[in-house]
Amino acid sequence: MLAKRPQLPQEHAVASEKFIYCLEAVDDMEVDPITEVQQSLEELAMQYGVASIHQTCDTIEGLEASLNTLVLDDHHFKDYEIIYLVMTGEANSICLNDYYYSLQEIAELFEGRLRGKIVHFSNAKVLDLDEEEAQYFLDITNAKGLSGYGNAFNGLRSSPLDMAFFNLFKEDDDMLEVVEALHRRHYSACKALDFRMYY
């Protein structure tokens, strides 16, 4: 079941018609602490009126079920511009419950279902794809873009830059303009984390 969309303070109620869907990998779904990512998304909603839904998963089945519920059952799916994935892994894979799944496998799970979405990875995992791998993911899922970071988490979390990236979409729908603005306004963070976008 999908979490309810957070209620925004009155002054932000009309500010946003775009939403972020965040899926965060956790070790155990039974334990439900408020994560740092959840707090960042709540601050984004309070400060800038950018609404989001935050879900957790601990298996590939959980990831598939969550995204299926979003795609098939949430009537607001077209309003979600960004699918935000917070999970560990390697250059071309994610890790759930000590199992690695390639982005090719993930693409095949969601064949044709992410049309027009941007899939964004936090720097919990490095995103390092060659042109062919990136193109395969985009072609199979119909996603508009795939973004993340070339530098692994090394004491520097990407959350603040992720939130700045999401907030820029409120101002501009053009993905490339947003990426340019992000580099202009947050150059040192983009460089330190090696922000990258495949499209």
pLDDT in tens, 61-72: 999 999 888 877
What pLDDT shows up at residue 132? 95
Is the pLDDT at 7 greater than 70, yes or no? no
pLDDT in tens, 169-191: 888 889 999 999 999 999 999 99
Q: In CATH, which of 3.40.50.1460, 3.40.50.360, 3.30.565.10, 3.30.590.10 is domain 16-198?
A: 3.40.50.1460
DSSP collapsed to 3 states, the chain: CCCCCCCCCHHHCCCCCCEEEEEEECCCCCCCCCCHHHHHHHHHHHHHCCEEEEEEECCHHHHHHHHHHHHHHCCCHHHEEEEEEECCCCCCEEEECCEEEEHHHHHHHCCCCCCCCEEEECCCCCCCCCHHHHHHHHHHHCCCEEEEECCCCCCCCCHHHHHHHHHHHHHCCCHHHHHHHHHHHCHHHHHHHCEEEEC
Which percentage of the chain shows pLDDT scores above 70?
A: 90
What pLDDT shows up at residue 78? 73
What pLDDT shows up at residue 17? 59
pLDDT in tens, 56-97: 999 999 999 998 888 777 777 777 889 999 999 999 999 998
Is the pLDDT at 136 greater than 60, yes or no? yes
Where do the structural domains in the chain lie, given as residue ranges?
Answer: 16-198
